[in-house]
Amino acid sequence: MKLNSTKPLPYDNSNNQIYNNPFITTSTRNDDEINNPPNKRSKFCTSTTTTSLASLFNKQNRHKLRRRINSISTNLSYYKFPKQDEFNFNSQPNFASSSTRSSTPSSNSNSDLESLPDLTDDDELTPENTPIKKLPTINFQYLELPTLKPPKFQLHKPRQREISSKISIFEVPEILHKIISFVDEQNSNLPTESTPIRRKPLNYNHAMLIHGDAEIAQRATEEIQEQLQPVYSNPLFNCLLVNKLFFKITSDIISKKFYFSNEENLVKFINYQGPKTTSFQPKIFILHKLFQTRQYLFDKCIHYISFKQLEWFELYMCPKLFPSIEIFKQAGSNLKKLIITGSKTIDDNFLISISLHCKNIEVLDLRACEYISDFSIYQISKHLKNLKIINFGRKNKGHLISDASIIKLINCCKGLNTIGLAGCNVTDKTVFEIAIKLPDIERLSLNNCPRLTDHCLSIFTNPNTIHCFLKLKVLEFRYNSQLDNLQHLIEFKKRQEYKNKIYLLIELCEDLMAKYRAQEQELDNIISMKIFNDIMVYINDDNDGDSNYIDLLNR
Amino acid sequence: MEEENYEQNNQVALKIGLIGDSQIGKTSLMVKYVEGSFDEDYIQTLGVNFMDKKIQIRNTIITFSIWDLGGQKEFINMLPLVSNDAVAILFMFDLTRKSTLNSIKEWYRQVRGFNKTAIPFLVGTKYDHFIDLSFQDQIEITQQAKKFGNAMKAPIIFCSTSHSINVQKIFKIILSKAFDLKLNLDEIINVGEPILIFK
Ligand SMILES: Nc1nc2c(ncn2[C@@H]2O[C@H](COP(=O)(O)OP(=O)(O)OP(=O)(O)O)[C@@H](O)[C@H]2O)c(=O)[nH]1
Ligand SMILES: [Mg+2]
């Protein structure tokens, strides 16, 4: 088999890496320098199986549809009832366990059915009720019938068409292309940051506050240590080795995605490039955590690449690399996704010139790019009307980003659904503006925004903003210890659940979480008191509909 | 009120199980309480029935989910469905048939196997027929019921579904027991009267 080793490869496979080898671990490095984006998922509540007071809504709605008397055989499977010890007034179900909770209420009843002990055996008194049926005697006579001949199974040879050359699907380029594309979709593991379902708790205490259950808290805390750096691999390299056709098609597919998470491999790639090699035209270009990689390597590497089809450009924590404007000129309006995090090179001018060339950017993630300021953000809002996701989160130089630019951006990009402003200098005004201008907002990260006050929390429950945040799923307020009145969040979370059927995920740091739980407890106590009062009134109302027995006795 | 208009009602759900021999009036009591109607005709319950009764009191909605097990012995294997997770179990008997009162002992034993926490109630039915019994019978049955009730540590209630006597009160007493709330209701303890002992 011939293998043209001068063909461009995304990275060198000469070390024959074993995919997903648990023993191969790339050096882990703490991502903490940058703030993760709030790209998190929250669950929709499709059905409520919890036992707390408020969650009964669904159940009751279902009942309206049901017939007068529910016969067990048909309807039981919908049903789940509270355990008595769960009979508290905690109107806030414990969502920490929401992932483990089955969404099918039937599971409980089913297991009941399965675990039924058979009591009928004890019941010697009523044999007439449960007559023991006589077991039918089963004769397997037919087996002995001598007349029956064994069936003649003739193995027909599959008739082959008289075609001299048998064509395998692996020889049809179109089909092979589909197959390898599928392999690519299935297995290619782009070196991108995975989005957590929720953030890891900071410590055991924090986990305890979040989950309220020692076992779950312990597990959540342990997961912090267990996190393994995933091995980014590309199974397509095996496909390259099959035959010429495979090689051709595979390299075509590979060349659509250009990604490296290892400088050594990048160097090998560059060294393999010869004058004869066809150039890459990737749709995806990702350099991932090349902390030390120098500019001259980057310049060499992009020399071989055409960016005309580029849709996704990512420099994830490659602080020293400066992507030349030329790349973005080439990509033009194809570019949808621009992720440059932790860069020490890009600045306002850079961002503004990109916005002039690439007007279709939807995802703009510039976390920990500390030279980006209000100035460029204000400017780009004129050009990037399609923005859906922005993230300007940072640890340092937060004062450079304020209401001035963010409010302008919010007003220009009505399609925004994800906003990350961790560590920025924004105030309550920004939150208000998001509330009233962005109907699609789903994720909002306001970690460590020291200028926020309690007022911004009240926006979430203000009757005037009742039609805002209808889609909000994730709300982050970590490291905002200045906030006190978290009742608004508690109330908002409940509203999201009842009205919009969204389990809102609220991320808080340890001290805020402690406050949150305390206030939640207070609120629950108030609700319990109300319920008790209401029931007291009811049970002590003399006019209850019963008749007076004296009338009956005097008949 | 300072509450916002969108504030949802507070919800409370209680599961109640109805247990006892056949033809004593379990289904009748459930239908009477939920729908307010009474039917002379007997339709045997095959298996389990359940119905929901919702009561709105200001901002609180109480939902009683009432589960009724057919009294024929063959349905005993469905007992867990009725008794599991129930807050209260009504052990019911027919005030005019002593045998049904005696069965309570076994019913109680069976239910306790599945649910050790439910609040037990001893409920005598068909009080309207009971008053037609001889006084001697009435004394005997009432004393026997009190004995059972004490042993079970259960409130004792005589009721008549057909004449709406003590039907609502059963469920009010359930609420007061379940939430440990004081009930300003007088007890009825004399033989011949519809007994109401719950303190
Ligand atoms: N007079 C009178 N009749 C009643 C009363 N309660 C029930 N009945 C009658 O007693 C009969 C049996 O009532 P059901 O409620 O069907 O009995 P059940 O306990 O459900 O019986 P199973 O389903 O077999 O367990 C019916 O004919 C009812 O009309 C009552 O309080 N007074
Ligand atoms: Mg019945």
Q: Give chain B positions within 8 Å (CB) of A75.
A: 50
Atom of ligand 1 nearest to the CA of B68: 20
> Can you give the pLDDT at residue A301?
85
Segment A530-545 shows an average pLDDT of: 89
Chains A & B: contacts with CB separation below 8 Å: 176
> Can you give the pLDDT at residue A150?
52
| Tokens matching residue B153 | 């540590």
Alpha-carbon distance A321 to A296, whole Å?
9
| Closest residue, chain B, to A54 (C-alpha) | B11
Q: Give chain A positions within 8 Å (CB) of B78.
A: 72, 116
Residue B73 contacts A, CB cutoff 8 Å: yes
pTM of the predicted model as reported, rounded to 2 decimal places = 0.64
**Closest Cα of chain B to A506: distance in Å?**
20
CATH number at residue B140: 3.40.50.300
What are the backbone angles phi and psi of residue B19, rounded to the nearest 5°? -130, 145
Tokens 């005696």 correspond to B102
3-state secondary structure of B93: strand
| Tokens matching residue B56 | 């709105």
> Can you give the pLDDT at residue A429?
96
Segment A99-107 shows an average pLDDT of: 37
Q: Give chain A positions within 8 Å (CB) of B119.
A: none
Segment A427-444 shows an average pLDDT of: 95
pLDDT in tens, A221-247: 776 555 555 555 566 777 777 888 888
> Ligand 1: which residue has its CA nearest to atom 13?
B25
Segment B45-51 shows an average pLDDT of: 94
| Single-letter residue type at B184 | N
**Closest Cα of chain B to A101: distance in Å?**
18
Counting the structural domains of chain B, the total is: 1
Alpha-carbon distance B147 to B169, whole Å?
21
3-state secondary structure of A397: coil
Mean of the per-residue pLDDT values for chain A? 75
Tokens 């120098």 correspond to A294
Ligand 1 pocket list (CB less than 6 A) = B 22-28, 39-45, 70-72, 125-126, 128-129, 160-162
Q: Give chain B positions within 8 Å (CB) of A530.
A: 10, 58-60
What confidence tier does A121 reach under pLDDT thresholds 50, 70, 90? very low
Atom of ligand 1 nearest to the CA of B30: 15
Contact present, A350 and A370 (Cβ < 8 Å): no
Residue B133 contacts A, CB cutoff 8 Å: no
Residue A337 is inside which H or E element, if any? strand A337-341
| Least confident stretch, A89-103, A328-342, A541-555, B182-196 | A89-103
Range of the domain at B110: 3-197
Instruction: Flag if B11 and A81 touch (Cβ within 8 Å).
Output: no
Ligand nearest to the CA of B20: 1
What confidence tier does B4 reach under pLDDT thresholds 50, 70, 90? very low
Question: For residue B170, how far is its CA from the centre of ligand 2 (angstroms)?
Answer: 18
Contact present, A358 and A325 (Cβ < 8 Å): no
Give the percent of chain A with pLDDT over 70.
66
Segment B9-38 shows an average pLDDT of: 94
Count of other CB atoms within 10 angstroms of residue B120: 22
